[in-house]
Structure 1
Amino acid sequence: MPIPAKAFQRWLHGIAPDVSTSDVCRAAGIKRSTLAQQLVRGKVAGGTVVSISRAYNINPVSALAGFDAFSQLAGPQRQPTRYELISQISTPDLLRAVLLRSVADPGGQPHAGHPRTNQPEAGLSESRPSALGPPPHATSVKSWVEAIDDGELRHRVSVATGIAPQNYSAQLTANRLAPELAIATSLAAGVGPASGLVATGLITEAEAGWPPGARQAALDSMTDGELTTLAGERLQTLGRALRRQEHDQEKTDKIWENLG
């Protein structure tokens, strides 16, 4: 979601009044030419504000909320739902959890109706809190939307934003979502507006106010049946994507053979 250049410059002057543009870019790790191009166009990317905020120890959510385009982020942040937390756990992490439970229960007896309590198991539970990779993951955007979709969510987002359903679906397939669409999706689903920005990777879970260890706790709350089913669904999705890639590669190879 672009931010008007004038509003951005006022904000930047407020947090770094005596700092040159070059020094700001150096501190934020962004190219000066990139910022210059955005200013010339009159629209600054939200990611630019996020990078500069981090460089000056300002919470990016609070910084973004100061702009009209991100005003929905103002105020206390709503906590993510259990399903949102689970959606931000990568497929490899889900599979590792399945294996850990199998090792902890060598008899292989399922516990379909009861979540695991994360009891200490030699060499296993001690590493759990820090084992999960941070969002986003390979399907974080699509998984997040699926986690909050009541069946009519995409239609509501399309009506609210004017985006064509096929264009919205294309972004999800590519595991990306423009900030304005991420926020619109959150609002249409009735969840915290910052959650979608975590799924897209614009901000971190800590910056969004998610409690430390919340994703791990959500994972531990899943029954064996829930965990295995979700991991299986993720693998099926991955398998379909890989088959499409293989098919496309075969077609490309045949074209080159014919041209050769």
Structure 2
Amino acid sequence: MTVPSKNFQQWLNSVAGTASHSAVCRAAGIKRSTLAQQLVRGRVSVATVAAVSRSLHLPVVQSLSTFEKYQDLAAGVLPPTDAELLSQVSDTDLLQEILYRSTAADNGTEAREVSLAPIPHRVSVRTWLDAVGPADLRQRAARAAGIAPQNLSTQVTANRLTPELAIHCARIAGVGLANGLVATGFLSSDEAGWMPHAREELLRRTPNSTLLALSAERMEALGKTMKRLEADAEADQSVWENLG
């Protein structure tokens, strides 16, 4: 997603002063030619805005909120719900927590603490969407963004979601507008205002029954994905055999 280059230039002048574009790009870790091309085309990517903000030690959410398309982002920051936090615990870590608890119960000891993988995990976009609901969330988000539902599904399958779509989904679901940007990896949890170690603390106090139900849902979804991949692989193999 992009912002108008004119607005970007105004913002850049206000935060970077007289620094040259070359200096800004070096600090932000982006190519000078990349920024130049974006400016010529009249649209600058929000990833560029975020990179410049981080290089200047500015809050990314506040920086994005200076642009009209994202003007309600900062005001819409809310703590993640418990469901959102658990959605950002990977399948492996969820199963590991269950295993540690089971082993501790058998041995009469304290359960080991799981060291959680960073966000995003392998299916963090899908699990976040499933956590925030409602059932027609994806269809409504696609309509709001003016894209076909299949295009959104393709992004979700690839564990991607544009910032605009992530914000649309959060707005429809009534959750913090920056939370979907965490699930996509566009923002860190710190940048979105999440409390440090919130996932770990919630995981430790979540009842066994809840963890088992959640893991069952995750495994069912994983099973469907694996069946689809296996079917695709078989179809591809059949094509090669017929050609062969």
Q: Same fold (TM over 0.5)?
A: yes
Q: Is the 8 A contact 1:2 1:69 kept in 2?
A: no
CA deviation map 1:97-144 (0-9, x unaligned): 111111211169xxxxxxxxxxx938x24xx4xx11221111111111
Please show how residues 73-222 of structure 1 align to structure 2 within 5 Å.
73-75=73-75, 77-106=77-106, 121=110, 124-125=112-113, 128=114, 131-222=115-206
CA deviation map 1:183-209 (0-9, x unaligned): 111111111100111111110000000
Separation of aligned partners in 2, 1:60 and 1:161: 22
What is the TM-score with the length of structure 1 in the denominator?
0.86
Return 5+ residue gaps in structure 1 as ranges. Answer: 109-119
Separation of aligned partners in 2, 1:242 and 1:189: 29
Separation of aligned partners in 2, 1:259 and 1:169: 31
Separation of aligned partners in 2, 1:78 and 1:25: 31
Q: Secondary structure at the match of 2:80?
A: coil
Q: Is the 8 A contact 2:76 2:177 kept in 1?
A: no
Deviation at 1:155, TM superposition (A): 4.0
Q: Secondary structure at the match of 1:105?
A: helix
* 2:38 alignment partner in structure 1: 38
Deviation at 1:86, TM superposition (A): 0.7
Among residues 184, 208, 232, which one is paired with 1:224 in the alignment? Answer: 208
Deviation at 1:166, TM superposition (A): 3.0
Q: What letter corresponds to residue 97 of structure 1 in structure 2?
A: E
* 1:255 alignment partner in structure 2: 239
Q: What letter corresponds to residue 247 of structure 1 in structure 2?
A: A
How many residues matched?
Answer: 244
Separation of aligned partners in 2, 1:180 and 1:154: 13
Deviation at 1:253, TM superposition (A): 3.0
Q: Which has the higher contact order (CA 8 A, sep 6+)?
A: 1
Taking structure 1 as reference, are residues 148 and 250 closer, same or farther at Cα in structure 2, changes over 3 Å only? same
Q: Secondary structure at the match of 1:30?
A: coil
Return 5+ residue gaps in structure 2 as ranges. Answer: none
Q: Is the 8 A contact 2:76 2:176 kept in 1?
A: no
Q: Secondary structure at the match of 1:73?
A: coil
Q: Is the 8 A contact 1:27 1:55 kept in 2?
A: yes
Q: Could you say what the CA RMSD is over the residues aligned between the two structures, in angstroms?
A: 2.1
Please show how residues 228-239 of structure 1 align to structure 2 within 5 Å.
228-239=212-223
Q: Secondary structure at the match of 1:22?
A: helix
Separation of aligned partners in 1, 2:32 and 2:228: 39
Please show how residues 12-51 of structure 1 align to structure 2 within 5 Å.
12-51=12-51
